[in-house]
Amino acid sequence: MSHDTRRRVILIFVVLIIVALVLGSVGCSSTSGNSDDADALTPALYVQAMADICDATTERLEALPTPPDEISRADWAGEVSRALRDEAAAFDEIDVGEDRRTDHASFIENTEGQAAGWNALGEALGGAEPDSGTIGDLTTDLTELTLGRNDLADEMGLAGCRARELS
């Protein structure tokens, strides 16, 4: 295993451990949606838990190699997709209570949509002859999801969870 690969694997494990510790320390439950509101996080703890997850994902994304010199654009898009998919899964572990359930579910759905979009973009870029029309459509979809995430983050008071600039 190369030094860079080993470094990335260690970073991913560290990020996952940090997320697990944060979720555990703020009283999160893996039964999101199935518990009483009494078990839900307070608004301040909710914002902090979400910010911690977003910060960990941002660090993970910033640690990615730079395309096209250090990694292919297709592989990079796949790594972005995995990071966002893991972020959505971590969001889903938070016990939000009834008051935030709808917005929280929308935020998770948007993040999952972005993960799927980046995965599709990676597949399109990895083809023998990438189709510029498909790539353009996927890029437009990702832009719309990004704008939607930013709107949701603003509405929910999650300034630290606005979409990142990815290129």
Is residue 107 assigned to a domain? Answer: yes
Range of the domain at 21: 3-161
Is residue 93 assigned to a domain? Answer: yes
Q: What single string gives the DSSP state of each residue in 11-67?
A: HHHHHHHHHHHHHHHTT--S-TTSS-GGGSPPHHHHHHHHHHHHHHHHHHHHTSPPT
In this prediction the pTM is 0.76
136 to each of 3, 73, 110, 166, how far by Cα in Å? 35, 15, 19, 15
What's the pLDDT at 157?
Answer: 94
20 to each of 40, 62, 128, how far by Cα in Å? 17, 20, 39
Is residue 49 assigned to a domain? Answer: yes
Cβ within 8 Å of residue 70, ≥6 positions away = none
Q: 60, 56, 80: which is closest to 142 by C-alpha?
A: 80
Is residue 19 assigned to a domain? Answer: yes
Is residue 167 assigned to a domain? Answer: no
Q: 164, 141, 161, 46: which is closest to 99 by C-alpha?
A: 46
Token pair for 143: 């832009």
What's the angle, vertex CA 42, arms to CA 31 and CA 104, rounded to 5? 55
Cis peptide before 68 (omega within 30 of 0): yes
Give burial (CB, 10 Å; 0-12/13-18/19+) of 2: exposed
What is the number of domains present in the chain? Answer: 1
Q: What is the pLDDT along the chain (167 residues), one digit of tens a residue?
A: 666 665 665 656 555 566 555 555 555 444 444 445 666 889 999 999 999 999 999 999 999 999 999 999 999 999 999 999 999 999 999 999 888 999 999 999 999 999 999 999 999 999 888 888 999 999 999 999 999 999 999 999 999 999 887 76
Is residue 166 assigned to a domain? Answer: no
